[in-house]
Amino acid sequence: MTPHPSPPPPAAARKILSCLKRYSEEYAGLGDLAEEYRQIALQRGKRRAALWYWGQVLFAVPSCLSFHLSSGGTMFGNTIKIALRNMQRHKFFAGVNIAGLSIGMTCCLLIFIYVRDELRHDDFFLHGDRIYRVLAESRESGRSGTELPAVMLDQMLTDIPEIELGVRLYDYGDCVIGNGDSRFVENRFEFTAPEFFEIYSIPTAIGDPGKSLAAPFSVVLTRKSADKYFPGINPVGQVLSLDNSHDFTVTGIVENPPLHSHLRFDFLASISSLRKMAPRIMEDWNYWFTNMYLRLPPGSNPRNLEARMEDFIIRHRGREFAGKVRHRLQPLQDIHLRSGNIDSDFSSSGDIAYVYGFSAIAVFVLLIACINFINLATARSSLRAREVGIRKVSGAHRSHILLRFMGESLITTGAALGLALVLTGLMLPVFNRLAGKSFRLDLLTDPALLMPAGLILLFVTILAGLYPGTRLSGYQPVQVLGGRIPAGRSGGKPGSTLFRKALVVFQFAVSIFLISATLLLTRQMTYMQRKDMGFQRERLVVIRNPADDNSRMLLRYKRFKAAAAQLAGVEGVSAASDVPPGGIGTALMFRKEEDSPQQALQLETVWVDTDYFDLIGADFLSGRNFSRGFETDRAAIVLNEAAVFALALEDPCSSRIALINSPDLHGVIGVVRDIHHESLRRQVKPVVFRLDPFRHAQNLVIRIKAQAMTDSMRRLEDLWADMAPEWPFQYEFMSQKYERLYRKESRMKGIVRIFTGLAIFIACLGLLGLASFSIARRSREIGVRKVLGASGLSIVRLLSWESVTLVFAANLLAWPATAYVSFLWLRNFAYRVGLDVWIFLISGGISIGIALLTIGFQAVRASRANPARILRCE
């Protein structure tokens, strides 16, 4: 060949060619084409050569593939053809199969996405497996809290060297942030130390994480806050005011905390500021307000540390205290899902029970979809018996036939999976809304999702294809071609029909369980929403009084009250330190007059204004309300029923109680009916109500008249703006508060409802397919009966009877399981509905009704058929 350097062939085409391994390596395709390319390039120019090259490569692609198919896959191609042909011929049954399977798979996929997200919470913490949150557990009540004294960490780091790192995080709560003249209400303002960034891995946009939270009165903004307060400019060096009292300098920006983080914040301020703002709280062992996270060295056992902490508590707070409070270490991964019994500012909405529950539902729904497939395929196997016989006679082995059938099952399942992916994509927005998440569509192409989808495909194919496949391939030609297939039942043992019936029963049992669950959930929710909380909830508005200073708060309240009470739309104004449903923030130890301090009990304490009970509409069971007229009322107290019970007071209105270590006695002047200060999940706690003007002005409570509510609200807003312009008007209706409270249950209800619908649908599909087939098989019998004089109705009854008994059996199966699970779930609620027989009867009735509807149409149609036409062909 001529000695100049050879021009290289087009790179892209060459790349494609090199992918066709067979041609390019075994047959030196790269070389041959390169040589000829060169020749053509020399003779006719590079352009022609490139064109030619591309042509050859592109042609080679399908040629190489068909090559693979024909040598390894002739059988596979044939299987596909036959499978598609079968599906076309029996569109109805194929449709039923694919629809059922794809719905089951969609359920599975959606739940898988949900569960994976829930389990992935907080996975971005650095060395997360060594991080623990410190809890304070009350030995008496079993409940835990996350708020602890700040000074505890300082002391712990000194006394316990096993702690590698400790970080405090204080959720400041609702506050007002000022930027220049504008004021905004925020509630995700946290105080923490620079060490925070060593455990919480979050990208820093501006500033040095090690230093930005060191100096007092520094604050780091999240990107969201930075954009809100200082859009477009670098906020470092700018100043924001906190509650109109303290100025903080911005020292950095971090990215927004990820969605699946139990910590949510918009501002991070330096905890060293607290030493200047309120020095006492950083040293006070009795002031419990900050969260604490510890990082332990690798290989350490948290139990050991818990034991050390117990010693620590005994040493610093005394044995008696240690007997009441125990500190536990909660692993980071448990925070999102297993914090049900923990009260915290960073409460999570996840619950491991839901994760288990939903996973179970997913498995069940998929299972019943597979059962459909199995049932239908088996039932119709008698149709293909002859085909199997002929194949065997032609030399096919049993394993071939089984494989072929599995291949067909794979194709059906594959089609169902494709449909399921599409359905999942469509359902995603609705699902997001229900579950309170935000999954994006591109999740569907995520390999982490496709892999389990592939596993589902494999699993369903094998599960749903194996049994019918084994049966089909087991047909003997002699049995099938020569003689007759045993009439009525499909080719075999009577046990097979029993098995199929059992499957249908199981399907319906699952559906009945879900129906009952939905009914129960709805009942419990309605009960909770309608229950009397001990006061009148309508038209109550709660306004938060900014907590700057006790005397200023009081003054603000008095002035506002005086002015607002004059408004036409306002029925009344009062205030209390804690209003429902927010729980009660203060608990103090009280003892009865005759008891010693050792017998003191912990009672929640709420400070109220004299007209509070009247305003909210609480009832007194005995005694009287506070009154301005009585000077002695300043020291008097009102108890709720639970407190009377806890203290075991026989004659409450003549009793006196005192604070644990104080000699001052307070007379009980009245007993008020229990007011639910928290969710109905919790028992009403014993409460002591007291008067103390300086402490009750935290929450203003206003009842407005029904007419022109928006107008009244606007006037109140104007009033506030006049009186306290530097504080934004922050209010919430009592009804809104309650809605928020039960959101988790609401969501659960929505989700269960959907899955119930789906399960019912699939079960009906199963019943439909089976019943249609069995009715079709009995068409001759029906014809004969009609000729012999049976009425249409009796035939319908005959045909439906079998299905009804199946559903009835399903009910019997479902009821015990339902009862047990319901019992477990209801135990979560201190106030709950009873498990009525009604629920079982209704779900039973619904299931039978659905079954009748499903097959009724078919049965009626069959009974109307003309006997002459049916009996003609024999």
User: Which of 16, 50, 64, 353 touches another protein (CB under 8 A)?
Assistant: 64
- Residue 33 or 193: the one with the smaller Cβ distance to another protein is 33
CB of 5 to another protein, least distance (A): 8
- Residue 14 or 224: the one with the smaller Cβ distance to another protein is 14
- Residue 14 or 682: the one with the smaller Cβ distance to another protein is 14
Asked if 838 touches another protein (CB under 8 A), the answer is no
Asked if 548 touches another protein (CB under 8 A), the answer is no
- Residue 30 or 724: the one with the smaller Cβ distance to another protein is 30
Asked if 522 touches another protein (CB under 8 A), the answer is no
User: Which of 10, 29, 194, 389 touches another protein (CB under 8 A)?
Assistant: 29
> 172-231: which residues touch another protein (CB under 8 A)?
none
Angstrom distance (rounded) from CA 544 to CA 842:
46
Looking at residue 390, its amino acid is: I
Specify whether the CB–CB gap between 327 and 313 falls below 8 A.
Answer: yes
User: Which of 12, 19, 28, 824 touches another protein (CB under 8 A)?
Assistant: 28
SS3 per residue for 465-481: HHHHHHHHHCCCHHHHH
Q: Which residues contact 553 (CB under 8 A, 6 or more apart)?
A: 545, 546, 547, 697, 698
CB of 50 to another protein, least distance (A): 15
Q: Do β-strands 342-343 and 144-145 pair in parallel, antiparallel, or remain unpaired?
A: parallel
- Residue 50 or 724: the one with the smaller Cβ distance to another protein is 50
Q: What count of other Cβ atoms lies within 10 Å of the Cβ of residue 711?
A: 13
CB of 43 to another protein, least distance (A): 13
Looking at residue 394, its amino acid is: S
Asked if 33 touches another protein (CB under 8 A), the answer is yes
Number of helical H runs and strand E runs in the chain? 31, 25
**Three-state secondary structure call for residue 679:** coil
- Residue 71 or 596: the one with the smaller Cβ distance to another protein is 71
Burial letters for 339-362: b for 16+ Cβ neighbours within 10 Å, e otherwise?
A: beebbbbbebebbeebbebbeebb
CB of 76 to another protein, least distance (A): 18
CB of 404 to another protein, least distance (A): 24
CB of 75 to another protein, least distance (A): 17
User: Which of 36, 306, 343, 717 touches another protein (CB under 8 A)?
Assistant: 36
Asked if 27 touches another protein (CB under 8 A), the answer is yes
Angstrom distance (rounded) from CA 290 to CA 336:
19
- Residue 26 or 650: the one with the smaller Cβ distance to another protein is 26
Angstrom distance (rounded) from CA 337 to CA 347:
10
Angstrom distance (rounded) from CA 358 to CA 192:
37
Q: Do β-strands 687-690 and 601-607 pair in parallel, antiparallel, or remain unpaired?
A: parallel
Asked if 15 touches another protein (CB under 8 A), the answer is no
Instruction: Fill in the DSSP letter of residue 3.
Output: S
- Residue 36 or 117: the one with the smaller Cβ distance to another protein is 36
- Residue 33 or 697: the one with the smaller Cβ distance to another protein is 33
Burial letters for 292-316: b for 16+ Cβ neighbours within 10 Å, e otherwise?
A: bbbbbeeeeebeebeebbeebbeee
**Interacting stretch for another protein, rule CB under 8 A, among 32-40, 245-253, 353-361, 852-860?**
32-40
Q: Do β-strands 620-623 and 665-672 pair in parallel, antiparallel, or remain unpaired?
A: antiparallel
> 38-57: which residues touch another protein (CB under 8 A)?
38-39, 56
Asked if 77 touches another protein (CB under 8 A), the answer is no
- Residue 1 or 837: the one with the smaller Cβ distance to another protein is 1
Strand partners, 336: none
CB of 73 to another protein, least distance (A): 15
CB of 47 to another protein, least distance (A): 19
Specify whether the CB–CB gap between 167 and 332 falls below 8 A.
Answer: no
Asked if 654 touches another protein (CB under 8 A), the answer is no
Asked if 594 touches another protein (CB under 8 A), the answer is no
- Residue 1 or 648: the one with the smaller Cβ distance to another protein is 1
CB of 12 to another protein, least distance (A): 15
Asked if 802 touches another protein (CB under 8 A), the answer is no
Angstrom distance (rounded) from CA 436 to CA 430:
10
User: Which of 16, 30, 462, 563 touches another protein (CB under 8 A)?
Assistant: 30
- Residue 39 or 526: the one with the smaller Cβ distance to another protein is 39
Q: E strand or H helix at 224, and its extent? A: helix 223-229
User: Which of 12, 15, 19, 31 touches another protein (CB under 8 A)?
Assistant: 31
Specify whether the CB–CB gap between 742 and 829 falls below 8 A.
Answer: no
CB of 32 to another protein, least distance (A): 3
Q: Number of residues in contact with another protein, rule: CB under 8 A?
A: 30
**Interacting stretch for another protein, rule CB under 8 A, among 21-29, 105-113, 345-353, 678-686?**
21-29
Distances (CA, A) of 159 to 98, 152, 302, 320, 402: 66, 10, 16, 20, 70
Asked if 67 touches another protein (CB under 8 A), the answer is yes
Asked if 350 touches another protein (CB under 8 A), the answer is no
- Residue 14 or 501: the one with the smaller Cβ distance to another protein is 14
- Sign, CA dihedral 444-450-452-455, equals positive
- Residue 35 or 306: the one with the smaller Cβ distance to another protein is 35
- Residue 23 or 720: the one with the smaller Cβ distance to another protein is 23
CB of 56 to another protein, least distance (A): 5
With vertex at residue 9, the alpha carbon angle to CA 7 and CA 15, rounded to the nearest 5 degrees, is 145
**Three-state secondary structure call for residue 658:** strand
> 658-717: which residues touch another protein (CB under 8 A)?
none
**Interacting stretch for another protein, rule CB under 8 A, among 22-30, 271-279, 418-426, 835-843?**
22-30
| Strands laid side by side in the 540-544 sheet | 570-576, 699-704, 540-544, 731-733
User: Which of 21, 22, 44, 869 touches another protein (CB under 8 A)?
Assistant: 22
Q: Which residues contact 213 (CB under 8 A, 6 or more apart)?
A: 192, 193, 194, 196, 197, 220, 251, 268, 269, 270, 271
Positions touching another protein (CB under 8 A) are 1, 5-6, 8-9, 14, 22-24, 26-36, 38-39, 56, 59-64, 67
